[in-house]
Protein backbone atom coordinates (compact mmCIF):
# COMPACT_ATOMS: atom_id res chain seq x y z
CA UNK A 1 0.00 0.00 0.00
CA UNK A 2 2.84 2.37 0.91
CA UNK A 3 4.46 1.77 -2.49
CA UNK A 4 1.23 2.71 -4.32
CA UNK A 5 0.91 5.93 -2.31
CA UNK A 6 4.54 6.87 -3.14
CA UNK A 7 3.99 6.11 -6.83
CA UNK A 8 0.78 8.17 -6.77
CA UNK A 9 2.58 11.14 -5.22
CA UNK A 10 5.40 10.83 -7.78
CA UNK A 11 2.87 10.73 -10.63
CA UNK A 12 1.19 13.90 -9.33
CA UNK A 13 4.54 15.67 -9.04
CA UNK A 14 5.51 14.72 -12.60
CA UNK A 15 2.13 15.89 -13.90
CA UNK A 16 2.79 19.32 -12.37
CA UNK A 17 5.98 19.81 -14.41
CA UNK A 18 5.21 21.53 -17.72
CA UNK A 19 5.92 19.41 -20.79
CA UNK A 20 8.98 20.61 -22.64
CA UNK A 21 10.20 22.72 -19.71
CA UNK A 22 13.91 23.40 -19.36
CA UNK A 23 15.67 24.40 -16.16
CA UNK A 24 18.95 26.29 -15.91
CA UNK A 25 21.07 27.62 -13.08
CA UNK A 26 20.47 31.37 -12.72
CA UNK A 27 23.53 33.60 -12.64
CA UNK A 28 23.86 37.22 -11.62
CA UNK A 29 24.76 39.99 -14.06
CA UNK A 30 28.17 40.22 -12.41
CA UNK A 31 28.74 36.49 -12.97
CA UNK A 32 27.51 36.86 -16.55
CA UNK A 33 30.09 39.60 -17.18
CA UNK A 34 32.85 37.66 -15.40
CA UNK A 35 32.22 34.50 -17.43
CA UNK A 36 32.22 36.37 -20.76
CA UNK A 37 35.19 37.13 -22.96
CA UNK A 38 33.29 39.98 -24.62
CA UNK A 39 29.95 41.77 -24.62
CA UNK A 40 28.83 43.28 -27.93
CA UNK A 41 25.90 45.07 -29.48
CA UNK A 42 25.10 44.40 -33.11
CA UNK A 43 22.71 43.32 -35.84
CA UNK A 44 22.12 39.75 -37.01
CA UNK A 45 22.92 39.76 -40.74
CA UNK A 46 22.56 36.04 -41.47
CA UNK A 47 21.39 32.83 -39.79
CA UNK A 48 22.36 29.41 -41.14
CA UNK A 49 21.22 26.05 -39.76
CA UNK A 50 22.91 22.73 -40.56
CA UNK A 51 23.64 19.26 -39.20
CA UNK A 52 26.68 19.13 -36.89
CA UNK A 53 29.75 17.07 -37.79
CA UNK A 54 28.26 13.92 -36.19
CA UNK A 55 25.06 14.28 -38.23
CA UNK A 56 22.93 13.83 -35.10
CA UNK A 57 21.88 17.36 -34.12
CA UNK A 58 20.97 20.56 -35.92
CA UNK A 59 22.92 23.66 -34.97
CA UNK A 60 22.58 27.26 -36.10
CA UNK A 61 25.14 29.96 -36.69
CA UNK A 62 24.20 33.63 -36.53
CA UNK A 63 26.50 36.18 -38.14
CA UNK A 64 26.40 39.39 -36.08
CA UNK A 65 27.75 42.68 -37.41
CA UNK A 66 29.18 44.33 -34.29
CA UNK A 67 28.27 48.00 -33.86
CA UNK A 68 29.73 48.39 -30.38
CA UNK A 69 32.16 46.44 -28.23
CA UNK A 70 30.79 47.11 -24.76
CA UNK A 71 33.36 45.05 -22.91
CA UNK A 72 36.27 42.86 -23.97
CA UNK A 73 37.51 42.31 -27.49
CA UNK A 74 35.70 40.77 -30.45
CA UNK A 75 36.03 40.95 -34.23
CA UNK A 76 33.81 43.31 -36.23
CA UNK A 77 31.74 40.31 -37.33
CA UNK A 78 31.03 37.53 -34.83
CA UNK A 79 29.65 34.11 -35.69
CA UNK A 80 27.65 32.67 -32.81
CA UNK A 81 26.85 28.94 -32.74
CA UNK A 82 23.90 27.48 -30.82
CA UNK A 83 21.78 24.32 -30.77
CA UNK A 84 18.52 24.09 -32.68
CA UNK A 85 17.30 25.27 -36.04
CA UNK A 86 15.68 23.98 -39.20
CA UNK A 87 17.16 21.95 -42.04
CA UNK A 88 14.73 20.98 -44.78
CA UNK A 89 11.53 19.78 -43.12
CA UNK A 90 13.24 18.89 -39.82
CA UNK A 91 13.11 21.43 -37.00
CA UNK A 92 14.89 21.14 -33.64
CA UNK A 93 13.63 23.47 -30.92
CA UNK A 94 16.08 23.90 -28.04
CA UNK A 95 14.25 25.77 -25.22
CA UNK A 96 16.59 27.98 -23.22
CA UNK A 97 19.21 28.20 -25.94
CA UNK A 98 19.72 31.43 -27.90
CA UNK A 99 17.71 31.91 -31.09
CA UNK A 100 18.47 34.54 -33.70
CA UNK A 101 16.59 36.11 -36.60
CA UNK A 102 18.05 38.04 -39.51
CA UNK A 103 17.72 41.79 -39.00
CA UNK A 104 17.24 41.77 -35.23
CA UNK A 105 19.38 43.98 -33.03
CA UNK A 106 21.01 42.18 -30.11
CA UNK A 107 23.28 42.58 -27.13
CA UNK A 108 25.14 39.34 -26.42
CA UNK A 109 27.58 38.11 -23.79
CA UNK A 110 30.14 35.94 -25.59
CA UNK A 111 32.42 33.08 -24.63
CA UNK A 112 35.30 32.32 -27.02
CA UNK A 113 34.76 35.60 -28.84
CA UNK A 114 36.96 34.58 -31.77
CA UNK A 115 36.00 33.00 -35.08
CA UNK A 116 33.01 31.07 -33.67
CA UNK A 117 31.62 32.17 -30.32
CA UNK A 118 28.93 30.94 -27.97
CA UNK A 119 26.46 32.96 -25.93
CA UNK A 120 27.45 32.83 -22.25
CA UNK A 121 24.94 31.07 -19.96
CA UNK A 122 22.60 30.05 -22.77
CA UNK A 123 19.71 32.49 -23.26
CA UNK A 124 20.65 34.44 -20.11
CA UNK A 125 23.40 36.02 -22.20
CA UNK A 126 21.19 37.22 -25.06
CA UNK A 127 19.08 40.39 -25.15
CA UNK A 128 17.06 41.83 -28.02
CA UNK A 129 17.20 45.58 -28.49
CA UNK A 130 13.79 47.15 -29.05
CA UNK A 131 12.22 50.58 -28.66
CA UNK A 132 9.44 51.00 -26.11
CA UNK A 133 6.32 53.13 -26.72
CA UNK A 134 8.23 56.27 -25.69
CA UNK A 135 11.04 55.52 -28.18
CA UNK A 136 13.55 54.47 -25.51
CA UNK A 137 15.87 51.62 -26.49
CA UNK A 138 15.46 48.66 -24.16
CA UNK A 139 17.49 45.46 -23.66
CA UNK A 140 14.89 42.69 -23.44
CA UNK A 141 15.85 39.21 -22.16
CA UNK A 142 15.16 36.38 -24.62
CA UNK A 143 13.69 33.78 -22.30
CA UNK A 144 11.52 31.09 -23.92
CA UNK A 145 8.14 30.12 -22.51
CA UNK A 146 8.53 27.12 -20.23
CA UNK A 147 12.14 27.89 -19.30
CA UNK A 148 12.86 28.50 -15.65
CA UNK A 149 15.94 29.40 -13.68
CA UNK A 150 16.89 28.12 -10.25
CA UNK A 151 19.12 29.72 -7.65
CA UNK A 152 21.96 27.65 -6.20
CA UNK A 153 19.76 26.79 -3.20
CA UNK A 154 17.14 25.25 -5.52
CA UNK A 155 14.60 28.07 -5.22
CA UNK A 156 13.08 29.51 -8.37
CA UNK A 157 14.89 32.66 -9.50
CA UNK A 158 12.87 35.66 -10.66
CA UNK A 159 12.70 36.11 -14.42
CA UNK A 160 15.09 38.76 -15.75
CA UNK A 161 13.43 42.05 -16.67
CA UNK A 162 13.89 44.47 -19.55
CA UNK A 163 16.19 47.39 -18.78
CA UNK A 164 17.07 50.64 -20.55
CA UNK A 165 19.86 49.85 -23.02
CA UNK A 166 22.07 52.78 -21.98
CA UNK A 167 21.70 51.88 -18.29
CA UNK A 168 22.42 48.21 -19.00
CA UNK A 169 25.58 49.00 -20.99
CA UNK A 170 26.83 51.24 -18.18
CA UNK A 171 26.19 48.46 -15.65
CA UNK A 172 28.17 46.02 -17.84
CA UNK A 173 31.10 48.43 -18.23
CA UNK A 174 31.29 49.13 -14.50
CA UNK A 175 30.64 45.56 -13.28
CA UNK A 176 33.06 44.41 -10.64
CA UNK A 177 34.53 41.13 -11.78
CA UNK A 178 35.52 38.65 -9.14
CA UNK A 179 38.95 37.31 -9.96
CA UNK A 180 40.39 34.21 -8.32
CA UNK A 181 42.80 35.24 -5.63
CA UNK A 182 46.33 33.96 -5.96
CA UNK A 183 48.24 32.91 -2.93
CA UNK A 184 51.78 33.94 -2.35
CA UNK A 185 54.24 31.89 -0.35
CA UNK A 186 55.26 33.42 2.96
- Write down the pLDDT at residue 21: 67
On whether the CB atoms of residues 42 and 78 are closer than 8 A, the answer is yes
**Average pLDDT, stretch 71-83?**
95
Query: Residue 173: which residues within 8 A CB-CB, separation 6 or more?
Result: 70, 71
**Dist. CA 115–CA 123, nearest whole Å:** 20
pLDDT band at 143; cut points 50, 70, 90: confident
pLDDT of residue 116: 87
Query: Does residue 183 carry a pLDDT above 50?
Result: no
**pLDDT over threshold 60, residue 18:** no
The Cα 34–Cα 21 span in angstroms is 27
What is the model's pLDDT at position 177? 56
**Of the candidate ranges 11-15, 39-43, 81-85, 105-109, the one whose mean pLDDT is the lowest:** 11-15
Least confident span in 44-48, 93-97, 145-149: 145-149
Instruction: Please give the distance of CA 135 from its chain centroid, rounded to a whole number.
Output: 25
pLDDT recorded at residue 111: 95
Rounded distance, CA 122 to CA 142, Å? 10
More confident residue, 98 or 186: 98
Amino acid sequence: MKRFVCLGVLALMLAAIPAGASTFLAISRGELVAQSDAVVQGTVVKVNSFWDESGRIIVSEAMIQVQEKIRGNAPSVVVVRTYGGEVGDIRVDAPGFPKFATGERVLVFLTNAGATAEVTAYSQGQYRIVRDKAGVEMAVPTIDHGVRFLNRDGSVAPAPKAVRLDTFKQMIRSAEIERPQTRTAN
